[in-house]
Amino acid sequence: MHIFFGDETNKSSSDGEFFVYGGLILSDAQIVWVHDRVRGYREHYGLGVEDKIKFTGHAMPDHLDKEHWRELKSGILDILVECDATFMAYYVHHDIIKNQTQQIRNQWAIEPILYRYQMYLTESESHGFAILDNIEEAELRRLEITRINTEGLKFEPDGDPVPLDRIVGIARAHVDWSHCLSANDVVLGAFGYSINHPGHEVANDMMRRVNRMFWHDEMDGVRYMGERGLIRRPKGNIEVAEIRERYQRIEEHLDRLLNV
């Protein structure tokens, strides 16, 4: 049994050029591992009930300095690498989705992510639950488990619906409700920050560990993440040269960090 923890980052263009959605896939044993160690980190760094572990510096408790806050987040990534956690992420440039509502943006992101989760569960011969942070109730209703198991989701206007029969439940949650959601916020935030600030060395150091978690294929020692753990939208050619060049820079950035 697995759980996918989904969340978003860089919701507006002021947060970064690319909107990102994604999260961790953890087995029941990994969930216990992550839960216990994040709890231990909270105790070690003296975090109180109101203190949250998130990637953003705005969440840093008053009694910690930047060095210890960075150290805490780095430790969270080490925990996830050590337990062999799996990560998936979807990214799209804000100029491409700027005329869409936040609900539509989330829908375009959540559906391909859930489909990859279905693929992961099928290949693992397993079933799983999806816990989605900050999802609106209207979107959650559209993802009622009876509906997606029976009718499936349509990814192309003229395509056949794809039933997500390996996913046995979907619920919404908040980062306060699970230590695993805290860990998820850190890894997703590290990915979002890295692709929006590819020259930032601290972010790159974190990203090297995030890259080790991506669901991928491997051939001759080379890892391929495209359309598995890493979902770029749009898939095809990007007509606007400036945006196309931005995507190319990000892809080159990820390739440099991928196999190190």
**Which amino acid is present at 229?**
G
Q: Compute the distance between CA of residue 14 and CA of residue 160 in angstroms, rounded to an integer.
A: 37
H helices, E strands: number in the chain = 9, 8
Nearest Cα to Cα of residue 182 among 8, 20, 53, 34: 53
Domains and CATH numbers, the chain: 2-258 (3.30.420.10)
Give the number of other CB atoms < 10 A from CB of residue 62: 6
Alpha helix segments (H runs only) across the chain: 28-44, 66-82, 94-97, 102-123, 137-142, 145-150, 179-196, 201-211, 241-258
Show the CA angle centred on residue 194, arms to residues 191 and 199, nearest 5°.
Answer: 165
DSSP, collapsed to helix, strand or coil, labels residue 3 as: strand
> What are the C-alpha distances in Å from 102 to residues 32, 136, 138, 188?
33, 10, 12, 18
Tokens, residue 97: 């989705």
Ordered per-residue pLDDT tens for the chain, 260 residues = 999 999 999 988 888 899 999 999 999 999 999 999 999 999 999 999 999 999 999 999 999 999 999 999 999 999 999 999 999 999 999 999 999 988 788 888 988 999 999 999 999 999 999 998 877 666 666 666 677 777 778 776 677 888 889 999 888 887 778 999 999 999 999 999 999 988 778 778 888 899 999 999 988 887 888 899 999 999 888 989 999 999 998 888 888 776 54
